[in-house]
Amino acid sequence: MSDTVSVDQTGAATSIPELQVETKDGVRTLRFNRADKKNAITRAMYAAAAHALDSAREDPAVKVFIITGSDGVFSAGNDLMDFMQAPPHVGGGDMPPVEQFMRALAGAEKPVIAAVDGLAIGIGVTLLLHCDLVYASNRSTFKTPFVDLALAPEFGSSQLMPAMLGHAVASELLLLGATWGSDRAYQTGLVGGVFTPETLDEMVWQAAQNLAAKAPGSLKAAKALMKQPPEDLYARISREGEIFAAQLRSPEFAEAAGAFMERRKPDFSKFD
SS (H, E, C) the chain: CCCCCCECCCCCECCECCEEEEEECCEEEEEECCHHHCCCECHHHHHHHHHHHHCCCCCCCCCEEEEECECCEEECCECHHHHHHCCCCCCCCCCCHHHHHHHHHHCCCCCEEEEECCEEECHHHHHHHHCCEEEEECCCEEECCCHHHCCCCCCCHHHHHHHHHCHHHHHHHHCCCCCEEHHHHHHHCCCCEEECHHHHHHHHHHHHHHHHCCCHHHHHHHHHHHHCCCCCHHHHHHHHHHHHHHHHCCHHHHHHHHHHHCCCCCCCCCCC
Q: Domain tally for the chain?
A: 2
In a domain, 6, yes or no: no
The residue among 190, 212, 234 that closes a domain is 212
Residues 193 and 221 in one domain: no
Residues 90 and 166 in one domain: yes
| pLDDT score, position 10 | 39
Residues 238 and 131 in one domain: no
Positive or negative CA dihedral for 201, 47, 181, 185?
A: negative
Residues 37 and 148 in one domain: yes
Arithmetic mean of pLDDT, 48-71: 95
Residues 206 and 78 in one domain: yes
Residues 183 and 87 in one domain: yes
Residues 172 and 222 in one domain: no
| pLDDT score, position 83 | 73
Arithmetic mean of pLDDT, 120-140: 98
Q: Is the pLDDT of residue 13 over 90?
A: no
Summarised one tens digit per residue, pLDDT across range 136-161 is 999 999 999 999 999 999 999 999 99
Summarised one tens digit per residue, pLDDT across range 160-217 is 999 999 999 999 999 999 999 999 999 999 999 999 999 999 999 999 999 999 999 9
**Full domain range(s) for residue 83:** 19-212
Residues 149 and 247 in one domain: no
In a domain, 8, yes or no: no
Residues 85 and 40 in one domain: yes
Q: Is the pLDDT of residue 75 over 50?
A: yes
Residues 140 and 254 in one domain: no
Residues 112 and 226 in one domain: no
The residue among 196, 212, 228 that closes a domain is 212
Residues 249 and 157 in one domain: no
Q: Residue 164 maps to which CATH number?
A: 3.90.226.10
| pLDDT score, position 212 | 97
Q: Of how many residues is the chain composed? A: 272
